[in-house]
């Protein structure tokens, strides 16, 4: 492929993979048939680049997905590729304050990518909408919350790839054989002993926030789980651990596929350190996640980071049905478009709209920088969103349970506290 016999784009892709592999000191590349990437042109810099450049979307792909200044004609993708979240929800552009011009660029990108054979899942949670790697499958995924879910819960194997390496992988079906692709790099390094029962989704988010802070980019092993956590709980746990730290893989003893017991999780090695997670640690994590929250008046409730599952939408609807949200408060819930279709059928979208809220797709407030106008205080049930939203959008953020957030949407005031 490097000699150009498969065309210039594949040659440039291979050139990038070789430079990247040498930088890592990887011994070789490995075959992959599962790439998750962002390719769109909706962020401001890429948007301007696309507008000024005669090469159009091929020029955007060449520069931003292949690190190649020459415009090369991009062929159809070689391997199964899914698109991650986007910068806007085209069906809620007006509410999100997005211009018609930007929607046009979005649609242009969509047509281009669809034509290349990129699956337009448009979500940070591809594993919720059918892209579910099997144990041992070599993947090339971006998006830290998806990477950690793939490695830890599914037993798929991926490093945190970037836009350029994922772009090269989709045209070649190759990625450096390094890091989490190798058995020996998947073993636990730190032990977390639970001294309390971790209950709801928010509670799992708090635990994740604590663990990320403690182990940074290493591999934590959680011991002492009393009830098997569901998809949403592990999704929120991983998203939090990859925000406060750089965790890309974890084990839960007796739950995740490479940790039936301690021996399997740690291999021949011993934990570098052991941490106990009890009421004091939980309280400290809660205070850290809530460090920007000051004003009780809440003008925005954002749910769906990472994108909500249908189960979470159902839970929200049980809390929201027949209620009306406060006149000064907006409620936006984000989910993959495929899950929204089910919510439409189930009447959940109507329950949310009747209450005055909105069910949106494709993006979120931190990634797309889209929020209702004039928001100063937001409420979220995601530790990841509480971590990023204040830094990116300059707002205060309260973190609590989903019920705390719905209560805030209805009353316009924050009354959450650690139960």
Partner 1 sequence: MTKIVLHGRKVVGGAAEGEALVTTDRISGWGGIDPRTGTIIETRHELRGRSFKGRVLVFPGAKGSSGWSSQFHVARLSGVAPAAMLFNEMTTKIALGAVVTHAPAMTDFDQDPLQVIETGDWVRVDADQGIVEVTKK
Task: List residues near partner 1 by CB under 8 A.
Answer: 16, 19-20, 23-25, 45, 49, 63-64, 67, 142-144, 147, 159-165, 176, 178-179, 216-217, 243, 245-246, 388, 390-392
CB of 141 to partner 1, least distance (A): 8
Pick the closer one to partner 1 by CB: 296 or 392.
392
Pick the closer one to partner 1 by CB: 163 or 358.
163
Pick the closer one to partner 1 by CB: 43 or 411.
43
CB of 365 to partner 1, least distance (A): 13
End-to-end Cα, the chain, rounded Å: 58
CB of 19 to partner 1, least distance (A): 5
Pick the closer one to partner 1 by CB: 137 or 311.
137
CB of 163 to partner 1, least distance (A): 4
Structure token pair of residue 80: 């199964």
CB of 26 to partner 1, least distance (A): 9
CB of 106 to partner 1, least distance (A): 18
CB of 393 to partner 1, least distance (A): 11
Pick the closer one to partner 1 by CB: 291 or 318.
291
What does the buried/exposed string (b/e) look like for 110-128 if buried means 16 or more CB atoms within 10 Å of the residue's CB? bebbeebebbebbbbbbbb
Pick the closer one to partner 1 by CB: 161 or 315.
161
Q: Are 398 and 290 in contact (CB under 8 A)?
A: yes
Pick the closer one to partner 1 by CB: 35 or 408.
35
Q: Is 42 exposed, middle or buried (CB count within 10 Å of its CB: 0-12, 13-18, 19+)?
A: buried
Pick the closer one to partner 1 by CB: 30 or 403.
30
CB of 216 to partner 1, least distance (A): 7
């Amino acid at each position: 492929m490097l000699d150009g016999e498969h065309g210039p784009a594949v040659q440039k892709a291979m050139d990038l993979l070789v430079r990247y592999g040498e930088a890592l000191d990887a011994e070789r590349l490995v075959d992959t048939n599962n790439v998750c990437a962002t390719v769109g042109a909706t962020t401001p810099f890429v948007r301007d680049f696309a507008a000024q450049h005669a090469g159009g979307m091929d020029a955007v792909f060449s520069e931003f997905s292949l690190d190649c200044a020459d415009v090369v004609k991009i062929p159809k993708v070689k391997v199964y590729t899914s698109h991650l979240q986007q910068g806007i929800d085209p069906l809620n552009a007006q509410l999100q304050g997005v211009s018609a011009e930007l929607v046009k660029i979005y649609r242009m990108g969509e047509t281009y990518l669809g034509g290349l054979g990129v699956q337009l899942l448009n979500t940070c949670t591809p594993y919720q909408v059918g892209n579910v790697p099997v144990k041992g499958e070599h993947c090339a995924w971006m998006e830290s919350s998806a990477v950690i879910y793939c490695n830890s819960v599914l037993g798929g194997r991926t490093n945190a790839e970037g836009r350029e390496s994922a772009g090269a992988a989709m045209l070649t079906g190759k990625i450096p054989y390094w890091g989490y692709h190798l058995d020996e790099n998947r073993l636990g390094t730190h032990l977390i002993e639970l001294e309390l029962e971790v209950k709801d989704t928010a509670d799992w988010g708090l635990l994740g926030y604590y663990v990320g802070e403690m182990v940074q980019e290493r591999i934590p092993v959680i011991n002492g789980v009393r009830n098997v956590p569901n998809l949403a709980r592990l999704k929120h746990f991983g998203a939090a651990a990859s925000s406060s730290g750089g965790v890309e893989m974890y084990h839960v003893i007796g739950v995740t596929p490479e940790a039936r017991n301690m021996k399997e999780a740690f291999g021949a090695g011993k934990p570098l350190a052991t941490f106990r997670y009890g009421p004091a640690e939980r309280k400290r994590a809660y205070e850290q996640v809530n460090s920007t929250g000051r004003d009780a008046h809440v003008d925005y409730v954002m749910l769906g980071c990472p994108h909500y599952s249908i189960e979470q939408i159902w839970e929200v609807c049980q809390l929201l049905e027949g209620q009306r949200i406060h006149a000064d408060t907006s409620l936006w819930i984000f989910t993959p478009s495929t899950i929204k279709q089910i919510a439409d059928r189930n009447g959940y979208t109507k329950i949310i709209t009747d209450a005055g809220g909105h069910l949106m797709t494709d993006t979120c407030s931190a990634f797309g920088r889209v929020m209702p106008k004039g928001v100063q205080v937001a409420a979220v049930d995601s530790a990841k969103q509480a971590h990023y939203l204040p830094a990116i959008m300059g707002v205060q953020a309260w973190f609590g349970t989903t019920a705390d957030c719905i209560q805030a949407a209805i009353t316009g005031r924050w009354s959450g506290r650690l139960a």
